[in-house]
Amino acid sequence: MSDYRVLKYPSIDEQIICAKHKSGLQVRLIPKKLSSGCAVFGTRYGGKDNCFKLSGEKEFTEMPAGVAHYLEHKMFENEDGEDTFAKFAKYGTYANAYTSSNVTCYHFTSTTHFLDNLRILLDFVSHPYYTKENVEKEQGIIGQEIRMGDDNPGRALYYMLLNSLYENNPVKTNVVGTVESIARITPELLYKCYNTFYNLSNMRLCVSADITMDEVLGVCDEILSVQPENEIIRKPFEEKDEVNVKYSEKEMSVSKPIFIVGIKDNKILSDGNERMKRSMVSDILTTILFGPSSDFSNEVYESGLVNDFGYGNNSADTYSFCEINGESDEPEKAYEKFLNCIKNAKSIIKPEDFKRCKNSTIASYIKACDGVGIAQAEFNTAIFGTEVFDILDLVKNVTFDDVIELSEELFDEKFISLNVVKPINGENKK
Amino acid sequence: MLIKRKIAEGINLNYIEDKRFKVNRVSIKFLLPLQTSKNSSRSLIFPVIIRGTENYPTEKDISIELENLYCSSVNSSYSRQGNISVQTLNVSFLRKKYIQDDTDVESGVLKLVEDVLVHPLTENGTFKCKNVEIEKSHLADSVRAEINNKGKYAINQCVRNMMSDDPFGYPINGTVDDIEKVTPKDVYEEYQSMLRTAKIEIFISGDVEMEKYADFFKNIFTAIDRNCCQDLEPLPVKTHVGEVKRIREKDNVVQGKMVIGFRAFCSNEDSLDDIIPFLVGLNVFGSGSTNKLFDNVREKMSLCYYCSALFIADKGLMIVQSGVAKENEEKAFKAIIEQLEKMKNGDIEEKEIENAKSDSISEIVAIFDYSKSIIAWNYEKMFYSKPLDPDEYIDRIKKVTKEQISDKFKKVELDTYYFLCGGDD
């Protein structure tokens, strides 16, 4: 029997059981009485972590772009020659992995033999096996993944935005890299990255299933050995407050121009919960101004100015921005309207709108609790220090003044950039 | 456990009580024979109504109400099941015990649903012209924007070519021309005809009082003079392949999108006993968590990032898709056909079949962990002459043999080869 904490959330009939395994791994369990079980095992290591050293080392090591993602692909190779997917397939289990700017995640969802599946997951992620041959083999596959991304206008637009907002922030690095950068990847580089970032103290295991914490820790005991904690130092960077580029555009094969407007938030709080609260304030603020009940979204829709309108927030430990996006024949006109909206934000935001949007935000989080996929949500917040159901209290504590204050901090043209992907030769498809 | 109740001629209420979830879901489906000339007006009905009703005259009013009702949602979709057109109104809201104050969310949501169904905003005897024009313009934009997603566009083009003589091959929302020609009167008449003649299936999943919902829908629909359409037979599935069609289309892409359309000669017309062996085979070939296409075309040959197979059961189409460099086009095509030949020849390992069975069983079990998929399962069940319970379905999967699989795949024939390639080809 190990020591663990049980966090109870009676108003939503949920709990999170938290334990630190003796190997150094933080483990979370959200019990669910369902046939499916889901486990997410991942590390705080993503596309942006390309220049780093361990505490005590003199020099920073710089890696080619795309190395975290490349490493994720190569984790599926095993020394015994059996493919990892084949091991899961025996139980009919769906397994996969992904790499974002911030994290690399390995996960499965199963309906039988949960503990056996968990064993496979912990085992393959804790046993790297990189050879010259298997690393070279992946060049063709990832090369095609990169090209698939090159044909995706939405993805192009997202990276245009990051380049516009940031001059030096490594979040602008393309997660999959380029055909040229991945050509420089070797087994030695992969081992260096693995040994740095796949230290268990930099990782999390989050599980949602009909199972006990003792059973989960039992599997950890079998597979994971005690590791000395390491301290990773990512190379610091200087970033000016104003945006890097006010406007960027590119031509691609699209039916009409698509655009994204980003607002850079320069206040990156170091405490995970405070950062999460700020992101909730930002959620409520953007919902009031651009959400389905806002004048802005209804006007651009009714006038036909913007099709497929969307808005959102994106933040992690080193960056934060809000965005609005859509499709428009006149992106500049949509942008003018947007500027006008944020200029008058203070008079637009009414206490009754705040109350309504806040309650609706809380409800949206409760609605998202069903199903074992909650393990994924827990991983994404826990890796940055917030337990997923604690978000409810963070939202509840947001005040009207918080929202007004944030709007005053954010809404300045020098933090804002417009980016557009236009049809080739300016010809809209009829 | 599903409780089915007939509440009027051609109208059924299907309740699946489930207290494991925090969300209640209601899905109202209107089924009519598919008519390509009506695709555009039908797909506009609910989007137009959700722009305004008698009690909530603007979309803003509706959105405010949904936010007041704790993030409840009311939205619609237009789809087809073979040659049946399906208009769906989807509703979801939090169960009472998770509402933090005394707001009566359920009553609020039902009031809104009633408005959307029978009290839409009208002027001069049709839908409000402005709302129809707004939705027409957005729908046309979405149809034009199909080209933005290259992979999906390539699949659609292939299927359209395969089904050029079948209503299923016609764009689900119509063409831009069709949409531009639609008048408010067309949409309104189609709406009235939907209420009068569609077969209506209502699904509820969650924790509600079924009687209350039966009364609610009875009140709404008995006020309408109904003459329910009986003719909901899917058109027969094509029984032969003519000359193989080869289509190359140019676009400004850096990666070619290959789509290969096969006829499986196995479809929803057949009994599940016939379909299940094909589905297990499809899992082995290209849709399972490990499969021949992934293992060979991607992992062994490094030709692509994705290569997979999907099945359009209504029409018996098996579609293989992959993103490949132009210079590898021939090589990839050959590799895919080689794997298909293995399926036909029974060159399948016992382990592959066992994995495919476990995967297929797991998929069935997982359906019952999500209220959305529980509704989808029960809805799709209606289309089989001999539907199976989950346990029976799983039992049939277990019994599938290698011979059955290769027999099914022997019938598979190449129909259409489609390649979307870069400009300088």
Please give the Cα distance from A420 to A64 (Å, whole number).
28
SS3 state of residue A74: helix
The yes-or-no answer to whether B2-222 and B245-421 have a common fold is yes
Whether chain B has a CB inside 8 Å of the CB on A362: the answer is: yes
Q: Which residues of B touch A300 (CB under 8 A)?
A: none
Instruction: For residue A225, count other CB atoms closer than 10 A to its CB.
Output: 10
What local confidence, expressed as pLDDT, does residue B141 receive? Answer: 95
Backbone angles phi, psi at B9, to 5 degrees: -60, 120
At A374-410, the pLDDT tens digits run 999 999 999 999 999 999 999 999 999 999 999 999 9
At B88-144, the pLDDT tens digits run 999 999 999 999 899 999 999 999 999 999 999 999 999 999 999 999 999 999 999
| Residue A52 or B81, more confident | A52
Mutate to test the interface with A, among B21, B23, B71 (most CBs of A within 10 A): B71
At B250-298, the pLDDT tens digits run 998 999 999 999 999 988 888 898 899 999 999 999 999 899 999 999 9
**Radius of gyration of chain A measured on its C-alpha atoms:** 23
Report the share of chain A in percent with pLDDT over 90: 97
Backbone angles phi, psi at A311, to 5 degrees: -150, 160
Please give the Cα distance from B147 to B149 (Å, whole number).
5
The model's confidence at residue A428, banded by pLDDT at 50, 70 and 90, is low
Asked if A92 and B142 come within 8 Å (Cβ–Cβ), the reply is no
At A144-174, the pLDDT tens digits run 999 999 999 999 999 999 999 999 999 999 9
Q: Which residues of B touch A424 (CB under 8 A)?
A: 252
Cα nearest neighbour of B105 on chain A: A363
At B24-34, the pLDDT tens digits run 999 999 999 99
Q: Is A59 a catalytic residue?
A: no
What local confidence, expressed as pLDDT, does residue A115 receive? Answer: 98
Asked if B252 and A35 come within 8 Å (Cβ–Cβ), the reply is no
Nearest CA among A55, A194, A34, A108 for reference residue A376: A108
Residue of A13, A85, A151 with shortest CB distance to B255: A151
User: Any idea which architecture A247-426 has in CATH?
Assistant: 2-Layer Sandwich (3.30)
Asked if residues A34 and B369 have their Cβ atoms less than 8 Å apart, the reply is yes
At A93-123, the pLDDT tens digits run 999 999 999 999 999 999 999 999 999 999 9
Whether chain B has a CB inside 8 Å of the CB on A88: the answer is: yes
A250-255 average pLDDT score: 94
CA distance B165 to chain A (A): 25
pLDDT at A1 over 60: no
**Of A57, A59, A62, A72, catalytic:** A72
Cα nearest neighbour of A151 on chain B: B253
The per-residue pLDDT of chain A, averaged, comes to 95
**Radius of gyration of chain B measured on its C-alpha atoms:** 23
The model's confidence at residue A430, banded by pLDDT at 50, 70 and 90, is very low
Q: Which residues of B touch A254 (CB under 8 A)?
A: 145, 147-148
Mutate to test the interface with A, among B129, B254, B290 (most CBs of A within 10 A): B290
How far CA B62 is from CA of B65, B133, B311, in Å, comes to: 5, 19, 38
Instruction: For residue A172, count other CB atoms closer than 10 A to its CB.
Output: 20
Asked if A92 and B253 come within 8 Å (Cβ–Cβ), the reply is no
pLDDT at B386 over 90: no
Residue A303 per-residue DSSP state: T
Nearest CA among A311, A281, A283, A291 for reference residue A403: A281
Cα nearest neighbour of B63 on chain A: A293
Please give the Cα distance from A270 to A103 (Å, whole number).
17
Asked if residues A395 and A358 have their Cβ atoms less than 8 Å apart, the reply is yes
Asked if B362 and A11 come within 8 Å (Cβ–Cβ), the reply is no
Residue B294 per-residue DSSP state: I
Whether chain B has a CB inside 8 Å of the CB on A310: the answer is: no
Report the share of chain A in percent with pLDDT over 70: 99
Whether chain A has a CB inside 8 Å of the CB on B362: the answer is: yes
CA distance B34 to chain A (A): 26
Asked if residues B262 and B309 have their Cβ atoms less than 8 Å apart, the reply is no
How many residue contacts between A and B have a Cβ separation below 8 Å? 199
Locus of tokens 């493919």? A83
Mutate to test the interface with B, among A252, A360, A362, A364 (most CBs of B within 10 A): A360
Tell the CATH topology of A4-234: Cytochrome Bc1 Complex; Chain A, domain 1 (3.30.830)
Model ipTM over 0.90: yes
CA distance B41 to chain A (A): 19
Asked if residues A319 and A259 have their Cβ atoms less than 8 Å apart, the reply is no
pLDDT at B321 over 90: yes
Where are the domains positioned within chain A?
4-234, 247-426
At A186-233, the pLDDT tens digits run 999 999 999 999 999 999 999 999 999 999 999 999 999 998 999 999
Asked if A144 and B358 come within 8 Å (Cβ–Cβ), the reply is no
Question: Which B residues in the span 171-210 are in contact with A, Cβ-Cβ below 8 Å?
Answer: 176
Helix A272-290 and helix A400-410: axis angle, to 10°?
Answer: 80
Mutate to test the interface with B, among A139, A148, A254 (most CBs of B within 10 A): A148
Asked if residues B419 and B265 have their Cβ atoms less than 8 Å apart, the reply is no
The model's confidence at residue A83, banded by pLDDT at 50, 70 and 90, is confident
Amino acid in the structure at residue B421: C
Q: Which residues of B touch A150 (CB under 8 A)?
A: 254-255
CA distance B406 to chain A (A): 21
The yes-or-no answer to whether A4-234 and A247-426 have a common fold is yes
Where are the domains positioned within chain B?
2-222, 245-421
What local confidence, expressed as pLDDT, does residue B82 receive? Answer: 84
What local confidence, expressed as pLDDT, does residue A273 receive? Answer: 95
pLDDT at B425 over 50: no
Question: Which B residues in the span 203-242 are in contact with A, Cβ-Cβ below 8 Å?
Answer: none
The model's confidence at residue B9, banded by pLDDT at 50, 70 and 90, is confident
What local confidence, expressed as pLDDT, does residue A426 receive? Answer: 74
Domain B245-421 indexed as CATH 3.90.1150.10: no
Q: Which residues of A touch B258 (CB under 8 A)?
A: none
Please give the Cα distance from A173 to A64 (Å, whole number).
10
What local confidence, expressed as pLDDT, does residue B131 receive? Answer: 95
A8-33 average pLDDT score: 97
Within B84-174, strands assigned E span 84-94, 122-123, 126-127
The model's confidence at residue B236, banded by pLDDT at 50, 70 and 90, is low
What local confidence, expressed as pLDDT, does residue B234 receive? Answer: 64
Asked if B145 and A256 come within 8 Å (Cβ–Cβ), the reply is yes
The alpha helices in B163-310, defined as continuous H runs, are 176-181, 184-197, 210-222, 272-282, 292
Tell the CATH topology of B2-222: Cytochrome Bc1 Complex; Chain A, domain 1 (3.30.830)
